[in-house]
Chains A and B, each alone.
Chain A
């Protein structure tokens, strides 16, 4: 299947368009059916693509037959196909959850959701930095509309901040692209990586400025330290399934840093090698610290989860800043785990909110929940996983990361920050769990039941954590191979430029 690489973009696009047309736009039931079928198909396609890229190496899809570096290419290598599969799984769970009623709160939930998935998949698959911008804009404009889905004061307020910030971010992105095109003369990522070492001295300075401006943009998307203030309120204000899908959005930023600053400005970039590292290193540590403080200070489960996303961003940036194959491999494993579990926690927070009446998901004494047990078990699993306790995936992810720093100078920093942050998260989540599930003031009087579909969606995400442990061998082998591919730059560049 030579056209397989474009399906993760085409399928959500076409589904989204069809969902807007009359026979489907009238009935939410039909929309749900089609949307879930599309998500299942997407998982199949992503799995096929992953297997192909694993067995046959990087798949290059040349749009319109224009040969790289002049045309637009899609690159389905191990890293990008892994991210596409991750998106598909998270999207399916979020969609199932939304089908239990959240998609009725406003118009066009399913089409917007599809466009959002299209933007995310496109950003992962593109091999061209300008298309990265275009797909960023697609995923952003869908996310603006999804964020405000359902309406309300909180959402509008969060939206104004989120939209303004991201529009400024887009402007900076374009400035950076202009600078890079002006000096390097190419927009194909692989081609740029080859041309960067050949720049003259005066061009190097301005290219460095462009590269670091890109770091600012991706840092904004990823919620890196001075640019993270938008995240907690935005994620806490969004409808639960949207917040769950947003768990992958910060990872789009991380992925772009990995691609642009790991490949174009990677180890082979001559005078511009690793320009991001001196910034990434302290910022990652501070992001981790501020996320941890945020977790300790959060008054509600949704805010705790939003701050946990910042903690995971800090951990991932730390692993990227290490610039080592084993660390990148650990980061990829941790990224899968943290995205899925953060998504699950957002859904659990919404279940809790729905069943506790006025107390919502705040840490106060309230009446017992209808499904105290099943939600409690889900919370317990998610908490164990995100803290990094054995036997779940968080433990493996953190252990791999800690191992990759063993015997190096950075070891003391990485170990102390990650372990202390783990302890703080443990304390905070124990407090959250005991308050919500055990400190009960009376019998349940609330009769609205959360639908079994919602619980099913949560358990679907949670099941990924033990699966990541059981299939830990093949998964880590795969992430290792993906990391090797990312670090072995020059050989892949030639392949990507079509000069096999």
Chain B
């Protein structure tokens, strides 16, 4: 179980980081969302993964740590608000700048690509 869990967090983080580093606001927002999913899963596992652990005292001999669950709940709420804000900001930026690049202007294509593009035309 640990391996699958760790793999999930790893893949989510990698995809999140990759998308965050891209130039368009849409992929950046997607990247930030994936990153926050990864973070939430990771935080959840910080109390150690445990099967059949009871959440209420006196129900079982093994208990799951309740604190990470509370932390994840807080992190989810905050992450949700931040994502909502960044979506609105991205739309505002698209309207103000006239394009959806994070720098506000689309960089010119590299020379080689430009030439290839010209040839096909």
Contacts and interface: CB of A to CB of B under 8 A. Distances in A.
A164 B20 contact: yes
The main secondary structure of chain A at its interface with chain B is: helix
B97 A153 contact: yes
A141 B81 contact: yes
A446 B93 CA distance: 33
B89 interface: yes
B96 interface: yes
A296 interface: no
Nearest to A153: B96
A401 interface: no
Contacts of B97: 153, 156-157
Contacts of B78: 134, 137, 170
Contact of A179 (B32, B46, B71, B92): B46
A175 B42 CA distance: 7
Contact-residue bracket for chain B: 20 to 34
Contacts of B43: 174, 177-178
A332 B39 CA distance: 34
B76 to A, nearest CB: 11
B26 to A, nearest CB: 12
Contact of B93 (A130, A156, A167): A156
Contacts of B25: 160
B53 interface: no
Contact-residue bracket for chain A: 20 to 34
A148 B82 contact: no
B38 to A, nearest CB: 8
Interface of B: 16, 20, 25, 28, 32, 35-36, 38-39, 42-43, 45-48, 67-68, 71, 74-75, 78, 81-82, 85-86, 89-90, 92-93, 96-97, 102-104
6 contacts: A156-B89, A156-B97, A160-B89, A174-B39, A181-B71, A182-B48
Given A157-B93, A160-B104, A178-B46, 20 more contacts: A134-B78, A156-B89, A156-B104, A160-B25, A160-B93, A160-B102, A164-B28, A164-B86, A167-B86, A168-B35, A170-B82, A171-B35, A171-B38, A177-B43, A177-B71, A178-B42, A181-B46, A181-B47, A181-B67, A181-B68
Interface of A: 130, 134, 137, 141, 144, 148, 151-153, 156-157, 159-161, 163-164, 167-168, 170-171, 174-175, 177-179, 181-182, 187
